Amino acid sequence: MHIVVCIKQVPETTDIGWDSKTGTLMREGAGGILNPNDKNALEAALQLKEKHGGTVTALSMGPPQAEDALRETLSMGVDKAILLSDEQFAGADTLSTSCALRLALKKIARFDLVLCGKESSDAATAQVGPQLAELLNLPQLTYATEVSIKSNSVRIKQKLEDGFRILETSFPALITVERELNQPRIPPMDSIMEAYRDKEVQVLRAEDLGGDKEHFGLKGSPTQSRKVYSKKVKKGKVTILQGEPDEIARELIQTLKHKGLLRGLNVT
């Protein structure tokens, strides 16, 4: 069995600065980490491999420094790591990202399962999994909190707002996983050393993928951001209620009554 796990490098902090003068994101200082949710996908793939045999490949599209995230997947125990990196990929939205990942998977040719995180911590769209599944014409099983494999089929427990469902499909398929699926392993120091010293991250450029250049990066992205700004949460002036606790309580309850917010107690 061959499992491909799609992983993304994300900024370490959620408090990315915004330079209002130049109108750009200030990514400096924010280191890149492996998207936490993708570690659950990796863990699931490694556990399936341990149980059923096979190989695991980690695949990512990103800038050159995303290699670090792929090294981390190698230290966790994946067999192979592939980075799609090219200026042409820059500025990709989810559809354009899925398009590049699809071409890479077509090139990899033989796989039984594709695993993704449910969502990335920066974009948090949860779209790349389903869009990739569509472009590859694979059935998709989303929001998995359990995954199991039987001869030629895969079964998941799907988490929904109001409960869960058990879904089943045949290979090949794409699964997106929830954080509660598992506890990702922490690689031992020597695996980390080995991943950085001895292992290779294969880098593919746009021309290696073939495909229509018009589909890559910003050019291939149907959505564009028109404006990015920081949201001001200021509503005007606050009225401070003062006095002893019971005086404050009385004043607040009176105010709520006057505003019609206490049903049955409305005085106006």
Partner 1 sequence: MSPENLGEYRGLWVFIEQRDSKPARVSLELLGKGRTLADKLGADVTAIIIGEGVSGIAEEMIYYGADRVIIADDPIAKDYRTEVYTDIIVEQMLKEKPEILLIGATCIGRDLAPRVSGRLNTGCTADCTELDLDTQMRLIVATKPFFGRNLMADIICPFHRPQMVTVRPGVMGLKTLDRERKGQLISIDVDLKEEDIKVKVLDTVRSASDGVSLEEADKVVAGGMGVGGAEGFEMLKELADLLEAKVGATSLPVDASWISKDYQIGQTGKTIRPRLYIGCGVSGAIQHSAGMINSELIVAINIDPKADIFNFADYGIIGDVNQIVPALIKELRS
Ligand X SMILES: Nc1ncnc2c1ncn2[C@@H]1O[C@H](COP(=O)(O)O)[C@@H](O)[C@H]1O
- For binding to ligand X (CB under 6 A), which residues are involved? 6-8, 35, 37-38, 41, 60-62, 94, 97, 101, 116-117, 119-120, 123-129
Which tokens belong to 84? 């799609």
Note the maximum CA span of the chain.
Answer: 77
Choose between 7 and 154: whose C-beta lies nearer to ligand X: 7
Cα 266 to Cα 43: distance, rounded to the nearest angstrom: 57
Question: DSSP letters along 76-93, please?
Answer: HT-SEEEEE--GGGTT--
Query: x/- site string to partner 1, residues 8 to 27, per CB under 8 A?
Result: ---x-xxxx-x------x--
Q: Which is nearer to partner 1, 85 or 176 (CB)?
A: 176
Determine the interface stretch with partner 1 among 39-47, 52-60, 89-97, 106-114 (rule: CB under 8 A).
Answer: 89-97
**Taking the complex as a whole, how short is the minimal distance between the CB of residue 68 and partner 1, in angstroms?**
20
The verdict on 28 binding partner 1 (CB under 8 A) reads no
State the CB neighbour count (10 A cutoff) for residue 162: 4
Question: Which one of partner 1, ligand X, none is in contact with 140 (Cβ closer than 5 to 8 A by kind)?
Answer: partner 1
Determine contact, residues 120/60, Cβ cutoff 8 Å: no
Residues 184-223 that bind partner 1 (CB under 8 A): 221-223
The CA distance from 141 to 187, in Å, is: 28
